[in-house]
Amino acid sequence: MAHKGATQQRNSGRRPIESGVAAVRPSRTEGLTRALWVVLALSVAVAVVQLYIHGRLRASTGYTSFCNVSATVNCDAVMGSAYGALLGVPIAGLGLLSYGLLGALLFWRARTVGRERTTTVLGILGLALWNLCFAGYMAGLSLFVIHALCLLCSGTYLLVAVTALLAWRLARIDLAASGQSVVTRRRTLATGGAIAAGIAAVAVVQLESRPISAENLTAADVRSRDPEFYEWYTKLPVRNDLPPVVHEKGSASAPVTIVEFSDFECPACAMAFRDLHDVADRYPNLVRIVYHHFPLDSDCNPNVATRMHPDACGAAIAAECAARAGKFWDYHDLLFGGQGQLGRDGLIAKAATLGIPREVFVACLDDPASRAAIADDTAAGKRLGIKSTPTLFINGRAVEGALDRNHYEYVIALERRS
C-alpha cells in the first residue's frame, strides 16, 4: 500500500497526454512565450514612433525628426522615400498589422492542443520568418538604393530577428513534444516558396512606384504627365545675373545647374537638402549644385527684419570656417542633418568630427572676416529679390521653395534637352 501511494503521488503532478501529443512542461515554453510578448510590445512601440514620423513627413515639408542625424544616418530620408510605403500604406503600418497577427496567434496557441497547436505554432514561425526576410529586403533597399541608414528601422530589424529566433525555439519544443521535426522538405519548400513569391511581389510593386528617371524622360513626357507644372515652369523668366560661384559640387560641364540660396536652420531648406542631395548623387554628370547663404537672421542679413532663425548666422559662419579647411560640403551635410544642434558648442563639435582643429575653428568663428562671404551672398540675394528660403535658380529660372521630388526629375529632363 505504501508503494502504491508513492506511485500515485509521483503521477499526480503530470499533465495528461491530449490528442496524442506528448505533454510539454510549462517551464520550457512559458519563458519563451513571455519573451515573445515583450519583443512584440517593443516592436509595436517602435512602429508607432515610425508611423508618427512618417505622418509628419507627409504632412509638413519642414519637419525634421529626432533621428535625422546626418545625410547618411537619416530616418527621414528612408521613411520619406518612395520605399517608405507600399500601396499607400506606410511600411510601419504593415509591421503593426503583422505584430497584431503574431500576438493573436500567440494568444491562441495557449488555448490549443494537439494538431491545432502544431498548426498555430507553425503559423507563428512562418510569419516571423516572413518578417525577417522582409526586414532583410528593406535593409538592402535602405543601404544600396536610398543610401541612408535609419536607426529606428535598424531597431526594428533587430527585434524582428529576435522574434524569429524565439519563434523557432518555441516551434521546436512544441513539435518535439508530438514527435515531429520543424524542418521537413515539404515545409521548407512551401515556406521558402511563399516568402520568395511575396518578396518578389513587393519588389515588383515598388519598382512600379519608384521615382521616375530624368534620363528617360522627354519634354513631351513631362508635358503629358504634368501639364500644369510644365506650363508653369517653362514660363519662368531666366536670370543671368547670378553671383559668382564659390561653393559647388558636381561636374562643371553639367547641363543643369541648381543655385540654392538657403538657411541652415530653415526646416523647409532641410527638406530641399535631402532631395538635392539625392539628385546630386543620382545624376553626378547631369547636375551641379551651387550653394549661397541667405540666413533669416538680422544679425548678419540686413534684408531680414527679425532674428527668425537665431542660430542661422552662426551656422553660416561656421560653414565658411569649414570651407577654409576644405570641408564645406561635409560640414554642410552635418548642419542640415542635425538642425537641433546649431549652437556654438554644437558647431564646434561638428567640426571636430571632420578633423578640423578646435583652436583653428574657434579662431575662425571669432574672426570678423568670416562674415564677409555671408555679406556678399545676402547682398546678392537682395539684388535677386529673394524673400524666403530655400530659393532655387535652376539654369537661371527662379523657384521659391522646395520642389516635389518628382519635379526635380522633370526640370532635369527639360533643362538637359533645352
pLDDT digits (tens, 9 = 90+) for 398-416: 999 888 878 899 999 999 8
pLDDT for position 406: 80
| 359 within 8 A of 321, measured Cβ to Cβ | no
Nearest to 318 by CA among 352, 355, 354, 344: 344
Inside any domain, residue 11? no
pLDDT one-digit tens code per residue, 80-129:
777 888 888 999 999 999 999 999 999 999 999 888 999 999 999 999 99
Last residue of some domain: 168, 188, 209? 209
Asked whether residue 193 is assigned to any structural domain, the reply reads yes
User: In this model, does residue 183 exceed pLDDT 90?
Assistant: no
Burial of 56 (0-12, 13-18, 19+ CB in 10 A): middle
Do 251 and 330 fall within a single domain? yes
> Which of 22-36, 140-154, 237-251, 284-298 shows the lowest per-residue confidence on average (mean pLDDT)?
22-36
- State whether 328 and 191 are in the same domain: no
Work out how many domains the chain is built from and give that number.
2
Spatial CB neighbours of 55, under 8 Å, sequence gap ≥ 6: 90
Residues 183 and 301 in one domain: no
| Cα–chain center distance at 402 | 19
Question: Does 135 lie in the same domain as 46?
Answer: yes
Q: Is the pLDDT of residue 130 over 90?
A: yes
Residue with cell 509628419: 56
Q: Is residue 15 part of a domain?
A: no
Which is it for strands 89-90 and 85-86: parallel, antiparallel or unpaired?
Answer: antiparallel
Spatial neighbors of 406 by CB under 8 A, at least 6 apart, are 211, 212
Residue span of the structural domain in which 123 resides: 21-209
In a domain, 5, yes or no: no
| Domain CATH code at residue 127 | 1.20.1440.130
DSSP for 330-342? HHHHHHHHTTT--
Confidence check: pLDDT of 10 > 50: no
Q: What span, in angstroms and rounded, lies between the C-alpha atoms of 359 and 364?
A: 9
| Same domain assignment for residues 383 and 237 | yes
- With respect to residue 16, please indicate whether it lies within any of the assigned structural domains: no
Same domain, 120 and 168: yes
Q: What is residue 59's predicted lDDT score, i.e. its pLDDT?
A: 67
Q: Final residue of a domain: which of 181, 209, 237?
A: 209
Structure confidence by residue, pLDDT tens digits, 307-348: 889 999 999 999 999 999 999 999 999 998 888 889 999 999
Is residue 405 located within the same domain as residue 297? yes
2 assigned to some structural domain? no
Q: Do 185 and 319 form a contact (C-beta atoms < 8 A)? A: no
- What pTM was computed for the model? 0.59
Same domain, 297 and 370: yes
Q: CATH number for the domain including 344?
A: 3.40.30.10
Say yes or no to pLDDT of 11 above 50.
Answer: no
**Separation CA 374–CA 392 (nearest Å):** 17
Is residue 287 domain-shared with residue 147, that is, in the same domain? no
Whether 227 and 153 map to the same domain: the answer is no
Q: Are residues 201 and 106 in the same domain?
A: yes
Q: Say if 323 falls within a structural domain.
A: yes
Provide the percentage of residues in the chain whose pLDDT is more than 90: 57
Over residues 235-253, the mean pLDDT reads 92
Strands 256-262 and 287-293: what pairing?
Answer: parallel
Residue at which a domain ends, from 176, 209, 242:
209
| Residues 195 and 247 both lie in one domain | no
Average pLDDT, the chain: 87
Q: Are 408 and 320 in contact (CB under 8 A)?
A: no
- Return the bridge partners of 293, or none: 262
Confidence of residue 20 (pLDDT cuts 50, 70, 90): very low
Question: How far is residue 266's CA from residue 52's CA, in Å, rounded to a whole number?
Answer: 21
46 Cα distance to chain centroid: 14
